[in-house]
Amino acid sequence: MKRTSGILLPITALPARFGVGDIGPSAERFAGFLDRAGVRQWQILPIAPTSSFVGDSPYAGHSAFGGDPLLISPERLHEEGLLTTSELDRAACPPARRVDYPEARTRKAALLRRAFDRAEPSLTHDTDFHAFLTVNAHWINDLAFFLACKEAHNGAAWYDWPTPLRDRHDSALREHGTRLAREILFHKFCQHRFFKQWGRLRSHINDLGIDLVGDVPIYVTHDSPDVWCHRRLFKLDPQGHRTVVAGVPPDYFSKTGQRWGNPVFDWQANKETDFSWWCARLLHHFGLHSQIRLDHFRGFAAYWEIPASERTASNGRWMPGLGRDLLHTLQRRTGGDQELPILAENLGIITPDVEALRREFHLPGMHVLQFGFGPGAERTPNAPFRHEPLGAVYTGTHDNNTTRGWFETELDSKAKTRLERFTGPLPDPAGVPRALIRLAMASPASQAFIPAQDLLGLGTDGRLNIPGRSTGNWSWRLLPGELHPLDSPALADELAELNEFYGRTGDDLLYGDYEEHLRAPSRG
C-alpha cells in the first residue's frame, strides 16, 4: 500500500485564457506544480457536458460517457491549425475569480464552430477520427444525435419532443438523422477533440508520475441520451416522465434533505441486461482515470426514493440497491484478479450494509476532517485517530465550506476546543487550513486530499458549492500565478516537505527490514 497526497481541483477552476479552465496548457502547468510539490494525485470533478439548465453542476451532466466541450483547449486547436492567433486573442477573457458560464460557453462555442468548419473537409479521410467513432460507437452516436435533436427543438427536453421522436420511432430517427447530419457530425467532432486532448493531458500527467482521480456520479440527468435511449433501465412512465426521483434524506447539509431530481434506476431491469450499461460506463471511466471516486456509494446498497410529486426529499423511502451484483459483474468483466480502482464516497447516512459492501470489495472510503470535531465525532470514522489505512482523508470536500470558512463561521467554541486538542492553540484563523492539512498528512489513511482553496488558505468566498442551492455554485477558479510551478515555488516546496515528512511520496510501505531500507542510498 502506498501513501500519497492529492489536490482536489476541478478542471473548470484552472486559470485558462478563455473564461473557464480547460485541458490545455493551464492543466499541464498545474501538473507541474503538483510534481514540484511531490503530490502524486490530482482529483477532479465529473467532466460530463453541463448547461445552465442544471446550474452548471458537474453532477448533473447530460451524458454518462461524453466530455464537456467547454473544457476543450482552444490553444490545442490552434496548434492543429484549426484556429488563428487573432481568433484566440479576440476570444480571450481577463482573469477573474469566478467563471461566467454563459459568456464562456458563447466564446467557446464560436471557436469550436470555426474549428469544425476548417476540419470538416478532412474528416472523411481522418483515420484517427473514424477509429474514435468505432471504439466509442456504443455512446457517441446516441450523444451526438441527441444534442442535434435538442438544438433542433429549441432546447426542449427529449420527453417534450414530438411523440414519434420521443419514443424513437424508426421513421422519426431516419428523418432527423438525414436532416441534422451536419450537426451530428459537429458534435462527434467536439467529442473526438475533447478525448484527443484528454489523452494528451493524461499522458503528460502520468509521465510525471501523477495519477488522475476522476469522479463518477451514481445518477444521470433525466434529459440525457442515456435515459432517452435506455428508458427501460429507469423508473419512468410510458411518456418518459419520472415516477420517482433520487435524493437523500435530511442530513448535515440540508434540513429537508436534497431532492436531486434524477430518475431512479430500475435495478432489476439493469440486472436482466447483466448490467451492460453500467459496466460500459465504469469501464469507460477506468480508461480515462487511474482511479474514480464513485459518488453516493451508499446508493448501491440502498437508495432514497422520492415520489416525483414531492417538492422536498423529506417524504422519501429507502429502497434496496443491487450494488453487490453490479460490482461482482464488473469484477468479472475486468478479469477478477485485480481490485477495482474505485474510491467509495461513503458520507452522509451510512449504515452497516454500506460498509459491508465497501469492505467486501476492498474499496477505500472517505474521512472528512471537518466532520471530526463535533459532538460525538470521536465515535465516527472522521475522527483523526479512526481513519483507516484503506481510506482517503480530506480536509473538506467540494460540498464543504473551505477550512478557514468552516472555522470562522460554522465551528462553535466546544468544537474549536476539541480541534485544538489535536492541533494546539489556533489564535489566528489564517493558520487553521495549514493545521488541518498537517492532520490530513499525518492521518493513517493512505490517501490524503486537499482542496486547492485550503492550500491557498481562502475563506468562505472560495467555497465551490453549497448543497441545496440551485444557482451560484461551481464557479470558483484560480487566478494566474496561483499554484503555478514557477510563480508559487515556496508553496510547492512547503508541500513537498510535508509529503516527505509524512511519508506521502508514493513509495510502497515497508513492513520488513527497515534497517536495509535505511542503508539504501537517499533519493535526494
- State the Cα–Cα distance between residues 17 and 29, nearest whole angstrom: 13
pLDDT in tens, 454-479: 999 999 999 999 987 888 999 999 99
Give me the mean pLDDT over the 134-153 stretch.
98
> Taking all residues of the chain, what is their mean pLDDT, rounded to a whole number?
95
Sequence-ordered strand ranges (E) for 264-388? 291-294, 302-307, 317-320, 342-344, 365-368
Three-state SS sequence of 403-444 = HHHHHHHCCCHHHHHHHHHHHCCCCCHHHHHHHHHHHHHHCC
- Would you state the pLDDT for residue 521? 52
Instruction: Mark residue 472 as left, alpha or beta (left: phi above 0; alpha: psi -120 to 50; beta: remaining).
Output: left
Over 70: is that where the pLDDT of 53 sits? yes
- Would you state the pLDDT for residue 408? 97
- Would you state the pLDDT for residue 275? 99
pLDDT in tens, 323-356: 999 999 999 999 877 899 999 999 988 999 999 9
pLDDT in tens, 159-196: 999 999 999 999 999 999 999 999 999 999 999 999 99
- Would you state the pLDDT for residue 318? 97
- 120 a catalytic residue: no
Give me the mean pLDDT over the 217-243 stretch.
98
Indicate which residue of 35, 215, 226, 345 is catalytic.
Answer: 345
Helix (H) or strand (E) holding 132: helix 127-135
* Residue 325: exposure state from Cβ atoms within 10 A (0-12, 13-18, ≥19): middle
- 345 a catalytic residue: yes
Indicate which residue of 142, 183, 295, 482 is catalytic.
Answer: 295
- Would you state the pLDDT for residue 467? 84
* pTM greater than 0.85 (yes/no): yes
Residue 136: all three cell numbers together: 466509442
Question: Pick from 13, 8, 11: which is nearest to 97 by CA?
Answer: 13
pLDDT in tens, 350-389: 999 999 999 999 999 999 999 999 998 889 999 999 999 9
- Fold exhibited by the domain 4-364+446-519: TIM Barrel (3.20.20)
Indicate which residue of 35, 183, 399, 454 is catalytic.
Answer: 399
pLDDT in tens, 287-307: 999 999 999 999 999 999 999
Over 90: is that where the pLDDT of 230 sits? yes
- Would you state the pLDDT for residue 522? 45
Identify whether the C-beta of residue 385 lies closer than 8 Å to the C-beta of residue 445.
no
Map residue 262 onto helix, strand or coil: strand
- 497 a catalytic residue: no
Over 60: is that where the pLDDT of 519 sits? no
Identify whether the C-beta of residue 4 lies closer than 8 Å to the C-beta of residue 448.
yes
**Measured CA distances, 322 to 128, 267, 348, 383 (Å):** 38, 6, 19, 30
- Would you state the pLDDT for residue 515? 45
- Would you state the pLDDT for residue 337? 73
- Pairing state of beta strands 391-394 and 365-368? parallel
